[in-house]
Structure 1
């Protein structure tokens, strides 16, 4: 992680009774203030920044080493959970969120999505007791307790819910001992570790594509095909979607290489939440000509793949679209392929132009650059693709890409 750039977030370890790290709380930079006023003004954006930095910019495996990430859920994120895989997140329900029926229903939905839920900064308020059947962990802010000796009685009072109790803001050996004896099995605080900065490079987002995506997703009559058209015009957003779906925590048997299939897996509601997440973050631009070049490559790769037996046209489209990701993201293609968990055949196609997909991409690039003599015509003609047909496919890819980009705009 490059420390020449400002830190993207901070993390503080959470330990069990044997003092083994079992997770990390992720915090935005600058550090959030522990007040209702700050949360009301900045809380949604702070969670957005943490999620984007951890899952998109750096990669959650690098941030937590495969351990759960404890992330603050404001009221907005409680009712609009992010697209990120639930088994890599512990949703920290902020103490300011009341235990009303609307919020309890949202918690039930989170449980159906398989989220683990923690109640943050608990002080013993009985009005929050209706939350306990739906949560897994209670984080007790021991600095706010009037007397730490009251902690055993507090834990015993709610023992029937099979809760895990986490003592936070532990600062001394004596506090750790008392909390452990009281029944806490998880611990966090300066006694163990101060929050540590996590560095990385922020990945850019195409502002126009994000706004177009939001417009389509917020139309109740939107179809998956319409959403796919927007994503297929933007390599950066497509990369982020596939990175999310192919996260190690998702656990699909095979990596997803089709944008349309990724949308089906995620669902439009969660995709809408993800687009809102991106919109809350920082949006940057890359030259429009680079985007056009990537889309033209995608359509030409997709056209050529029909001459090959047993190759997938949607995967070929993704191949062409992602062939310029190093220019979009300012990172080497090898690293990008690893982050996406792409199959070996696509990785070698993108990085070394090897294999059948690699041949298609190499042909596409040479056609684009006008390197007519470098094209392997013997192989193409063996597959029934003549020079005239290749030129026709290329011109058609140009026209199709231009039309799609104009309609998307």
Structure 2
């Protein structure tokens, strides 16, 4: 298995008319279609990061909403409140203990616009004790395979007191199950009778463990420096990419023109950026670079980013951060093994960066061409472009040496 493959399971949830109402998203770590032996919290964190920050939610669900399992521990974390409630249904696992504190958290999610679902519902004493739960819940899922006929009848009778709650029949295996669910007043359906979970496969961008450690140190020191944090993030292609993806998953509208990592942090807010980075650290920390091809592409991406930035600085460009991001993401298609047209819509980059990466000529284009010419030892092209840009060969050599040392220094930290 490719060390940098991402796998996301999804199973459709259908309406009475047979339309796709939503998908339940499932953590997977291979193309084998079963849940691996992993902590549920870690599974959900990985699923959220893979879905929203690596692949892109629209690529996974094609615009439909996604049911995602949440444990009590995850429901207590403020960071997930920043997800877009139009995209996510909070599915509360059956083993979550109902407490006044949990009800308070669920009320906060509800007020933020989230749809709440109870998973694998059976009539437990805690549900009767905390009947106010049913004033918050929108959907109740009943396991048709494991729940007895008697228990199903008890559930439907009990929920007549809460007519706004939608019943979802899951693990529908046969036509008989489906017909029973229809007659019993269920409006949503999920199970092998309709479709088995399918697996979406994509590629992960490997991260730099040392940069992760330095970011954690930044947190522990309680630093409030946006400049310091942006400098750290700029040294890691994976975090930079995911930060820009995070902007597209936010629940509120923000300007979509990003020209620097610092600007992205300022748009999100330092507080929320820190929260998401902490979740990202839990997911990524300890991953090692094993694929030599990917490692080489990451180093080359960093070298291009630094060279673009230094060339822009030498020429007195005010937008040197845009040059840096253009260089950094110039190989992202090769790293992720995805087409440009699939990747660029996922990022909130400025027009000049997107146009350059798409091959349209911009002020950045000749600088990127010059860098590529040096990389491929095309000295005729180097001579022509450096002349047109009025960059002396001595200065060009110095810039490339600095860029190489900078990128290699980061790569050595990864080993």
Aligned pairs (5 A) from 1:8-407: 8-29=7-28, 31-32=34-35, 42-80=39-77, 81-82=79-80, 85-111=84-110, 114-128=113-127, 129-142=131-144, 143-145=146-148, 146-159=150-163, 162-246=164-248, 252-264=254-266, 265=268, 266-279=272-285, 283-285=288-290, 291-305=298-312, 312-331=319-338, 333=340, 335-340=342-347, 342=349, 345-352=352-359, 354-367=361-374, 373-375=380-382, 376-381=385-390, 390=396, 393-394=399-400, 397=403
Contact persistence 1:353–1:361 (CA under 8 A): no
Q: What SS does structure 1 have at the residue aligned with 2:97?
A: coil
**Change over 3 Å in CA distance of 1:277–1:108 after alignment to 2:** farther
Contact persistence 1:350–1:361 (CA under 8 A): no
CA separation in 2, counterparts of 1:114 and 1:283?
Answer: 39
Report the more deviating stretch, 68-77 or 41-50: 41-50
Contact persistence 2:56–2:346 (CA under 8 A): yes
Q: What SS does structure 2 have at the residue aligned with 1:121?
A: coil
What is the CA distance between 1:130 and its match in structure 2? 3.6
Deviations 1:181-207 (A, max 9, x none): 444322222332222333334443333
Report the more deviating stretch, 351-360 or 395-404: 395-404
**Change over 3 Å in CA distance of 1:270–1:197 after alignment to 2:** closer
**Change over 3 Å in CA distance of 1:28–1:295 after alignment to 2:** closer
CA separation in 2, counterparts of 1:86 and 1:360?
Answer: 42
Q: What SS does structure 1 have at the residue aligned with 2:120?
A: strand
**Change over 3 Å in CA distance of 1:91–1:236 after alignment to 2:** same
TM-score (norm 1): 0.79
CA separation in 2, counterparts of 1:19 and 1:76?
Answer: 35
CA separation in 2, counterparts of 1:191 and 1:291?
Answer: 44
CA separation in 1, counterparts of 2:323 and 2:379?
Answer: 22
Number of residue pairs matched by the alignment = 395
Contact persistence 1:122–1:140 (CA under 8 A): yes
**Gap runs ≥5 in structure 1:** none
What is the CA distance between 1:321 and its match in structure 2? 1.6
RMSD value, Cα? 3.9
Deviations 1:331-377 (A, max 9, x none): 55555435436556423423537321222222334456665642424
What is the CA distance between 1:393 and its match in structure 2? 4.9
What is the CA distance between 1:232 and its match in structure 2? 0.7
**Change over 3 Å in CA distance of 1:400–1:174 after alignment to 2:** closer
